[in-house]
């Protein structure tokens, strides 16, 4: 009698654990706020933006992303990546004040997500992101002003999302993109601009 009662008393915690594990199988798409430069990075970098770039960069296209599946994983979609990069550029004062008007902005930026390396399983999730940037100068008939393929890494620790590997994968993916954009902007600041 006591054994049967003991078995029934363990069922609710067991059912809760199974439910949590089932939920962890749902796809967790990346979100643009997690991928864009944060406030501290923006404040640090803003004062180093070359005057020739202020208000001169338009984000033209973003490609290579894919939506997250319903049941598993964490992918980077083109719209989320585009929003994150555009907001990062705006925060730094690089985007023209009147986007969409003909002739505004000297430079056109194209971004391609070349590779997203994510582990299938793991406690600490290490993600690598490779983005390709092409900055074209419209005043010189599309001459390439900057072209680079950058690979950045980030590891999300098990403690950041104990019960959900997909969330850890999302956290690591977003941070890897943020580091990538940060690296690109820092390289721009080290260049000479006319």
Considering only residues 128 and 26, tell me which one the structure prediction assigns the higher pLDDT.
128
Of 120-129, 169-178, 180-189, the range with the highest mean pLDDT is: 180-189
Q: Is residue 14 part of a domain?
A: no
142, with CB counted inside 10 A (0-12, 13-18, 19+), is: exposed
Task: Read off the pLDDT of each residue in 147-154 and give the average, rounded to a whole number.
Answer: 97
Give the pLDDT score at 164: 72
Q: Is residue 8 part of a domain?
A: no
pLDDT at residue 22 tops 50: no
- DSSP E strand stretches across the chain: 57-63, 107-117, 125-137, 143-156
Q: Is residue 169 part of a domain?
A: yes
Instruction: Provide the 10 A C-beta neighbour count for residue 135.
Output: 21
Q: Is residue 9 part of a domain?
A: no
Tens digits of residue pLDDT in 178-187 = 999 999 999 9
Domain that holds residue 98: 35-189
Whole-number Cα distances in Å, 84 to 81, 102, 184: 5, 24, 14
Separation between Cα atoms, residue 155 and residue 125, nearest integer Å: 5
pTM score, two decimals? 0.80
Q: Is residue 28 part of a domain?
A: no
pLDDT interval class at 194 (50, 70, 90): confident
pLDDT at residue 170 tops 80: yes
Mean of pLDDT over the chain: 83
Q: Is residue 1 part of a domain?
A: no
Task: Read off the pLDDT of each residue in 84-93 and give the average, rounded to a whole number.
Answer: 96
Domain with residue 116: its CATH number is: 3.40.50.10610
Q: Is residue 30 part of a domain?
A: no
Question: How many domains, in total, are found in the chain?
Answer: 1
Sign of the alpha-carbon torsion through 25, 27, 31, 37: positive
Tens digits of residue pLDDT in 31-74 = 788 899 999 999 999 999 999 999 999 999 999 988 876 666 67
Give the pLDDT score at 29: 74
Give the pLDDT score at 35: 93
Q: Is residue 85 part of a domain?
A: yes
Give the residue among 153, 67, 149, 66 at the shortest CA–CA distance from 111: 149
Match 């594990």 to its residue by tokens: 21
Give the pLDDT score at 141: 85
Tens digits of residue pLDDT in 5-16 = 555 455 455 444
């Amino acid at each position: 009698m006591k054994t049967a009662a003991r078995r029934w008393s363990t069922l609710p915690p067991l059912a809760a654990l199974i439910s949590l594990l089932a939920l962890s199988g749902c796809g967790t798409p990346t979100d643009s706020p997690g991928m864009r430069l944060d406030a501290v990075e923006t404040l640090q970098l803003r004062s180093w933006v070359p005057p020739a770039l202020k208000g001169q960069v338009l984000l033209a296209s973003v490609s290579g992303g894919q939506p997250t599946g319903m049941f598993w994983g964490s992918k980077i979609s083109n719209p989320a990546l585009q929003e994150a990069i555009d907001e990062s550029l705006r925060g730094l004062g690089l985007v023209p004040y009147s986007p969409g008007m003909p002739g505004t902005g000297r430079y056109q930026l194209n971004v391609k997500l070349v590779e997203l390396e994510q582990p299938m399983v793991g406690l600490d999730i290490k993600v690598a992101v490779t983005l390709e940037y092409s900055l074209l100068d419209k005043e010189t008939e599309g001459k390439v002003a900057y072209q680079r393929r950058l690979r950045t890494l980030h590891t999300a620790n098990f403690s950041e999302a104990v019960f959900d590997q997909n969330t850890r994968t999302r956290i690591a993916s977003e941070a890897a993109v943020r580091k990538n954009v940060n690296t690109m902007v820092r390289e721009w600041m080290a260049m000479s601009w006319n």
